[in-house]
Structure 1
Amino acid sequence: MSRHLSIARRYARYLLPTMSGVMLMVALAAGAGEVEPRLHAGGATVQSFEPPAQVKVPASAEYLGNRRWVLYGYADCDLHVYVQKDARGVVERLYWIQSEAYIPSRPELTHAGGYAKSRALTVGGMDFHLDTWGRALSDKAPADSDLEQVEQLVAAAKLRLPDNMAFVRLVHLPDAAQRKELMLIYAERATTDATPDDGVITRMRETMTIQRSSKD
């Protein structure tokens, strides 16, 4: 914990401006006056603190920013979004990195069994749960969801999402308690909202990489 507290002081100027008032109250209560960071973006790299890992996206991808908030009132979330776009400002590829943990006041919540139907994949020395799906832009994002946060970041950058996108999601559970997640989500422009073939997984792995890093 002491390592996290020192990191919080170092990166407070990056994290605090993006947090909601609710998030600040929860974080301060849980951390005795310190805000524990979950992710930190620098250039085309996002550093994850738990698990310790580095996620890299293409250098040409545009960083749209991050959001730090309490998802549905029970999960401390930090998400960062990058995109590649066409000349008209339509998103061609989207890179979404998210770290989250159930808040201490909800000790009963766990992800155990939540990914039983997902495929298993090992990437960068880490075990992930893998899912793919298609989505039409006409399908409205659930209110207060992480997807809504992503759409708001895209809109704030004056960009547009395409009519259809193919998604890949990798989820890593870093410890036995299974109360925390590191999610890597890749999406690309598609012609329909049908579930994509495995080619989308290959393209994700070619453009979005993760590697576990050693702790200080």
Structure 2
Amino acid sequence: MKKNSHPDLETLMFLIAKLPGLGPKSARRIALYLLKNRDNIMNPLSGALDKVYQNVARCNICGNFKTNKIECNCSNKNNYEQICVVENVADMWALEGTNVYSGQYHILGGTLSAINGINPEDLLIGSLVSRIKANSVKEVILATSATIEGQTTAHYIKDSIKNLNVKVTKLAHGLPVGGEIEYLDDGTLFSAFKYRSSLNSD
């Protein structure tokens, strides 16, 4: 701990530095900014974080966020002809921004990765299979990123549902190799979704 610093402030900076894209210097600037704006930013932010912690949870069926004590949207049996499979919630939000798709989503919670020790049981693949079996799903759209991990995950899912008599498609046109869904512009995502290709004949 720095000689002239407070232990609570050090803890705050340490935790902020754990956020994606931030390091110790950025964490220090953010912490000092929060302290400088205690009433109009720090206090409301603290309250918002507490409410999210208390009231928002991840659905263990579809992977989306839901309000505690309220059924998730995936329990609605309407509009179940298609399920779009994405890696994370940010990818779902990116696709929603294109207005090209209005069906059900399934958020895996990541991708398969031998290096990082992420196995099929660590992702919501089993619940995807269960959702397909329990509903009148006609098409599963694999909207994973064009990375090695994303494509490996897509192929694993395709093999897992190959006997379920459901059409399987993937994003294609306009999706650059190595591209992550979250960071693509709306036009690219729209084209990739609109001109998706079938995997059933592979």
TM-score by length of 2: 0.29
Higher strand share: 1
Higher helix share: 2
Task: From the CA coordinates, give the structure whose radius of gyration is larger.
Answer: 2
Return the structure number with greater relative CO, CA threshold 8 A, min gap 6.
Answer: 1
TM-score by length of 1: 0.28
